[in-house]
Amino acid sequence: MAEEHDEKSPPFVVPGGKAVEECEDMIRRSLRHPTVKFLKEHLEKAGCAVGDNFIKAVHCHEQISGGFVRGTGIKVCSNHMRIQDEVNQVVIHELIHAYDECRAANLNWANCAHHACSEIRAGHLSGDCHYKRELLRGFMKMRGHEQFVQLHRCKEFEDAEFITKEWVTVQKQYEFYDKWEVAIMLLWMQSESMDHLANSDCVRRRVMKSVIANPYCSEAAAKDAMEAVWDVCYNDTQPFDRAP
């Protein structure tokens, strides 16, 4: 959820950000993503069909990636987008807000608890807080890093199959990771606890950032609202059977 931008303020530009036309093409590609298709289908089942102009690329004047605005639809901030995965995530996140708006007749975005609940669900269910993305944002430290730093000397490690094409692509997009750091991440990610750790801290952090931006919610009110609805909203996975 996001407020409309101030047309008079200068646009916030991310290095490598896309032009509106490029972002529109990326949005069209995102519509083929399985999770996007799933959410659109369930919005239609709930009586809120997504029209052709519901998701739009715009040049934003604030430091956000996108937003859902009641009665308007979803905006994706082209100047904040660099790769297709980022567009996919914005669209999925905002479609969850749209689904919440559709299914709850009394949802009030000025109510801090209502806003916090939808942000909790969007953060948990969209994949925003997958530990891969937290690592790339720099919010997670690689435990046991020292155990792997010598592995790059091994021919077996260099040829290991878990150096996947996907991660080599990610590495090229985020040049501050070298080949061996990518490999170390893949090894470290095998820990069963990583998904829970990333979601718990990441969702809370991102919920607070969003709700504090709500002009009706102070920082204290945002925190109280988040804690009050956390258990119910984090465990509410509709329209998914469980968190993806």
Q: Which residues are catalytic?
A: 94
How far apart, in whole angstroms, are the C-alpha atoms of residue 116 and residue 123? 10
Q: Looking at residue 68, what DSSP letter applies?
A: E
Give alpha helix (H) positions in the chain.
20-30, 34-45, 84-103, 112-125, 131-137, 145-148, 155-158, 165-173, 179-188, 194-212, 219-234
Pair type for strands 73-77 and 66-69: antiparallel
Contacts of 46 (CB under 8 A, 6+ apart): 99, 102, 103, 239
